[in-house]
Structure 1
Amino acid sequence: MVVTSAVPGPRDDDAAVAAPLRLVAVTHGAPSGANREAIMRLVDGVASARPELDVAISFVDARDGDLAVDLVSGDGPAPVIVPLVLSAGFHVRTGLSLGLQRIGADAGLAEALGPDDRIVEVLAGRLARAGLERDDAVVLAAAGSNDPRAVRECFETARRLGLKLGRSVTVGFIAAAIPRLPDAIEMIREVHPGERIAVAPYLLAPGAFSDAAAASGAELVADPLLLPGEPAPAELVALVLDRYREAEAERRVAV
């Protein structure tokens, strides 16, 4: 399933548009209303920051075996596709990449958003706003992947968050990898009985995975990185644009 909508911004007719920017939110099933609105907040931030670009968003079901066909249609310059995912698992590294090669598209494909210290800044801010205290144990709740590299990237994010917070951070996966989130929480309780546990969802937006994090039984669960009721953090807008610039530079060299 691919759902596409354009996000028009102010246009400057004198601006040279290097390539339209297509943002791909890789979902698992139909996105909820809150999920779509939260991600659109990020897309709106990108469009406002770079009004000379044609910015569009596609919600792509990761279970779709043909992820790329509908992403590069139309005339004009080939787009640069920025997957709105924190870790690039099979669906991005294989599904999107091979799909673009198969149809002979000249589109650029950016790297996943994470790991990146700007994501860590937002994670730390979400924890602080939720009421993180000095002695709390912290668990990074990640979606999980069958791709070992994506799993390693989650552990790298936990390491960076630990440096930011000045304490160790445990990783718990909601699906597809171990340790599973409930097991990670239980392990901490066995080793440090009575210690309060704070969960930092390493998730872009609300949805089934954030619901699972909220139901994990931890004493404190922070919000995901994007929320439907507020503007996207400036750090994430800048990160998306950096991924776009990197991919566009590579595409220009390759063409």
Structure 2
Amino acid sequence: MGMQDNTPFGQALKEALASRKFTQVRLANELETDPGQVSRWATGKSLPVRGTVERMGEILGVDLLEALRSSTPQYELYVSAPITGLSEDSLATHHDEVGKVVESLADHVNSLHWPGREINGTADLLAPDIATERNMSILAHSTALLYLQFAEVVRPTGSLIELGAALGSRKKTTIILKRGLRQPFMLQEFAAVAARLPSLPQARVYVVDSVDAACRLVQRNGRELLGLT
């Protein structure tokens, strides 16, 4: 059994639960998750990943994937990382390191945009106005932002403008930095400040020793780390 096209996921889930006389608590137990998480899905406050929806379909005997597709923004997560702000000799390595973290996100997000995916060097850059218009439009419609930095920024970088735009528009924001890098002064203790000020969005700042540690952080904590739960 499938759900009608364009039915919001939360509504589709509630209808499936009602038709099977399943409670949210029972579904949570079957999925080995928290009942509060199922409630957030049912009320449209967050979305599960595809694998979880497939498991729901097996439990409830209903295909919820179309409802998930119709409810998922084109890009749930915007991945921002320095490019032009890096030294030329660190750009390619940093691209590969960010790429490893992006790969580790595959099981935890339904869609993401990483503007630097095809940029291995400055020769790959689009014209600034074209790139800025495209990327800021996507950022405006993304649910959350992940900022990654594993090398020293040596000149002005557009990624910090993206980070500022996300914070200013109250997007859920996660920042992962390699230990030892210089940080903008405002980022020091920023997560604690964001937790106290209602004008700021939910923000998490993590300092890691390596790219592998960043990947493990993502793999262990999934959507909660990204503010997508």
The alignment's TM-score, normalised by the length of structure 2, stands at 0.32
- Return the structure number with greater helix share: 2
The alignment's TM-score, normalised by the length of structure 1, stands at 0.30
- Higher RCO by CA contacts (8 Å cutoff, separation 6 or greater): 1
- Return the structure number with greater strand share: 1
